[in-house]
Amino acid sequence: MKKSPPAESPDAYVAALAGWRRALVEALRECTLAAGKLEERIKWGHLVYFSNGPVLLIRAEDERVLFGFWRGKRLKEIDSRLKPGGKYEMATMALEAGAEIDAAQAKRLVKAAIALNRRLGDPTDIDGTAREAPMAKTTRTRKVARRGAKREKAAAVVDVAALRKVALQFPDVEDASTDRGIAFKARGRLLACAAIHASAEPGSLVVCISLEERPRLMAAHPHALYLTDHYVKHPAVLARLAQLDPAALRDILGAAWLYVTEKAAGPKRGRSRRKR
């Protein structure tokens, strides 16, 4: 297989292509640049886009054009053509001659990928946490570290103001609070709201999340997330605000944002009343 044409700039990379490969690359590039604020570079011989680390690549090969995402394994619910492979959470779509680009779908993928990097950081920095938190050498040191961690967590507990600040950082999210309690919508669909059902603990939030993603989130935040019988059958999870810090809240709302915005992009259905 021949390597992609060497180029000194993204424009030169595209100009060196021809035929169906150039048409596909131009279409993908246009959708990518229209989807959000990204830095475009030539890296590893092809187009790579950065925002809090690498987000995606566009690579022209002899028989196909690759549209790959560093956190693509988390985007398969948006487009099942993404195939996992390589390092990190990489998943790639291989487009051949005759393939058509759905511009709206491509933009949804790029926007979701940007949001994931904003929430989770650089996807290639897999050892960052380990470097920042080396193992303590003595029992006494570990106990002091745990006490310090508890004080830090207590100082960073999420209140309503912090919840609003984090929620409104995500694209297309609006404050939809009413006299029934705080609420947020993403592209017109409920993202999260105060839990007012009698089965919920006081100070809880209902967060809309897919049934497939819910077990992962609950395992990652076992003290903060829970369910009652009323909510088990619904695509949602309950969150104890008093048990959350801003980083955990961003993780949970980020997963909810991906789920809700993908639903908003699908076929519209008739309105139905949703119990909170």
User: How far does CA 156 lie from the centroid of its chain?
Assistant: 23
Return the amino acid letter for 52.
N
Split at pLDDT 50, 70, 90, the class of 203 is confident
Domains of the chain: residue spans and CATH: 10-120 (3.90.1150.200), 157-265 (3.90.1150.30)
pTM of the model: 0.51
Alpha-carbon distances, residue 90 vs 55, 71, 74, 132, 138 (angstroms): 10, 5, 9, 24, 38
Report the C-alpha gap between 74 and 225 in whole angstroms. 20
pLDDT in tens, 3-42: 444 688 999 999 999 999 999 999 999 999 999 999 999 9
